[in-house]
Structure 1
Amino acid sequence: MSDPMRPRASLRTAVVWEVLQDALDRRVKATGRESLDVLDTGGGSGNFAVPVARLGHRVTVVDPSPNALFALERRAAEADVADRVRGVQGDAHGLFDVVERGGHDVVLCQGVLEYVDDPAEGVRNAVAALRPGGVLSLLAAGLGGAVLARALAGHFTEAHQALGDPDGRWGEGDPMPRRFTAEQLTGLVEGAGLRVGAVHGVRVFADLVPGVLVDTEPGALDALLKLEAAAAELPSFHAVATQLHVLGEAGGA
């Protein structure tokens, strides 16, 4: 199935969506159930939740923003999946105030760890929400991509600061609270008791290519998407990706 978020947005989501779709398909086969229970922590307005629901799965979105949950409800209704999408207000820290432990086949924790006070706790909570054999989809901002972007923009001092900052921030004006290396993310996943199934670099090239080129050059978008997909699994490109995606797999059934 093609990425439901084409055309331009697919540059930011295509790799993650393909990996997620494959993980969902494998869980369907493993469980023998066509409809899985999916938890999307920090899922906002449903960029992933609604497409997942369109595949026939039940999705619970936990997000602290009432406005995001309202947008989620509207988007789910427009996609005719309102009966399979549930939004609840909450956050990663108090996750089990609003959802049950061990009740989900797949948990999405995408764009969350950058903002929580304790990333390790955030991952542990996400893992605790999984059923045996479940899958965690973890997406977070990559340190190397930010360093490269600042350097290419001529902000060499900021690039240097991000490189040495414990949180990977390039200065007080940096809107991102925290960034990670692939090693840090896989360490968090393994520390929470999961096996790392795959690591992908996301937006390796997309943020560096001028938008006008992608918009006007015939075939450029498809070619760039193929390039992103080809580079995503290569460890040598993880160090310069804007985001990093880790797939964690729980033991058991």
Structure 2
Amino acid sequence: MPSPSSARPVGDPSSSPPAAPRAGVVWEVLREALRERAERAGRPALDVLDMGGGSGSFAVPVAGLGHRVTVVDPSPDALFALGRRAAEEGVADMVRGVQGDTQDVLEVAGRGVFDLVLCHGVLEHVEDPAAGLRSVAGALRPAGGTLSLLAAGVGGTVLARALAGRFTEARTALTDPAGRWGEHDPVPHRFTVERLTELLTAAGLAPGRVHGVRIFADLLPGRPLDAEPDADAALARLEAEAAAHPAFQAMASQLHVLAEVPGEA
């Protein structure tokens, strides 16, 4: 893999984030986590794994910050799109795509070799979330690493179904152990902060900061953003302010948790 000097430097603001406000909160938290991890590792370029990273909505911007990114995804089409996207952004030499899933991630990507692992939108779709998270966590360096976990939240679905007049489905999601609103629900698992904390701890990690994601954005019917000037930016600021508030985390469509390998000096 070529040296990171061939890419944009770490912290370069020209590295474009995923679309806000839906992913803006996660991106800002992730940028800070990358900076902190690089400082603790004592080197500017990190080895990052993006589990289920698809076409690179996070992987390419992370590579744009100067980090080496391996994307593991089961879809050949997504990996082809990843390669094209990375080439268009000038970071093709910093991004590697590998076909695989949570069951074989350690075989195809490596065990204990990554400084930071992204597991975004994956846990809700695996058959056994606990086993899947253990596999992904196994890719972190045992001497110190950070996991960025983004998973579907129960509260956002309950609220969305209720606001749509689907009160029975809302109650079903509220009481179902997997957070599903019915047999036709396309999402196999949804989580609370408490459940994600349990899973991370069982995987040998120390849970840290929690953020609610897409608290308000997914509840807007048809995006009626004409009530005030620059409403998109105002919505993004509102999402950012509410993200760390426990009361609003319970309403979020997604939950974002940072966790670390425990015992790091």
- Corresponding residue of 1:16: 26
Please report how far the alpha carbon of residue 213 of structure 1 lies from its aligned counterpart in structure 2 after TM superposition.
Answer: 2.4
Please report how far the alpha carbon of residue 4 of structure 1 lies from its aligned counterpart in structure 2 after TM superposition.
Answer: 2.3
Q: Distance in 1 between matches of 2:133 and 2:184?
A: 27
- Corresponding residue of 2:96: 86
Please report how far the alpha carbon of residue 214 of structure 1 lies from its aligned counterpart in structure 2 after TM superposition.
Answer: 2.7
Q: Distance in 2 between matches of 1:136 and 1:100?
A: 15
Give the aligned CA root-mean-square deviation in angstroms. 1.5
CA deviation profile, 1:33-58 (whole Å, cap 9, x unmatched): 11100000100000100000000000
Question: Are 2:167 and 1:156 aligned?
Answer: yes
Q: What does 1:3-42 correspond to in 2, within 5 Å?
A: 4-5=16-17, 9-42=19-52
Q: Return structure 1 stretches of 4+ with deviation > 3 angstroms.
A: none
TM-score, normalization by structure 2? 0.91
Q: Distance in 2 between matches of 1:214 and 1:190?
A: 40
Q: Distance in 1 between matches of 2:97 and 2:228?
A: 40
Q: Which residue identity does 1:189 align to in structure 2?
A: L
Question: Are 2:69 and 1:54 aligned?
Answer: no
- Corresponding residue of 1:98: 108
Please report how far the alpha carbon of residue 107 of structure 1 lies from its aligned counterpart in structure 2 after TM superposition.
Answer: 0.3
5+ residue gaps, structure 2: 1-12
CA deviation profile, 1:134-187 (whole Å, cap 9, x unmatched): 100000000010000000000111111111112111112212111111100111
- Corresponding residue of 1:225: 236
TM-score, normalization by structure 1? 0.95
Question: Are 2:191 and 1:193 aligned?
Answer: no
5+ residue gaps, structure 1: none
Q: Distance in 1 between matches of 2:138 and 2:212?
A: 25
Please report how far the alpha carbon of residue 212 of structure 1 lies from its aligned counterpart in structure 2 after TM superposition.
Answer: 3.5
Q: Distance in 2 between matches of 1:25 and 1:75?
A: 24
Count of aligned pairs between the two proteins: 251
Q: Distance in 2 between matches of 1:91 and 1:225?
A: 32
CA deviation profile, 1:185-234 (whole Å, cap 9, x unmatched): 11111111211120110011111123442368421111111111111111
Q: Which residue identity does 1:33 align to in structure 2?
A: R
Please report how far the alpha carbon of residue 81 of structure 1 lies from its aligned counterpart in structure 2 after TM superposition.
Answer: 0.3
- Corresponding residue of 1:71: 81
- Corresponding residue of 2:255: 244
Taking every aligned residue pair, what percent have the same amino acid on both sides?
64
Please report how far the alpha carbon of residue 100 of structure 1 lies from its aligned counterpart in structure 2 after TM superposition.
Answer: 1.1
- Corresponding residue of 2:193: 182
- Corresponding residue of 1:120: 130
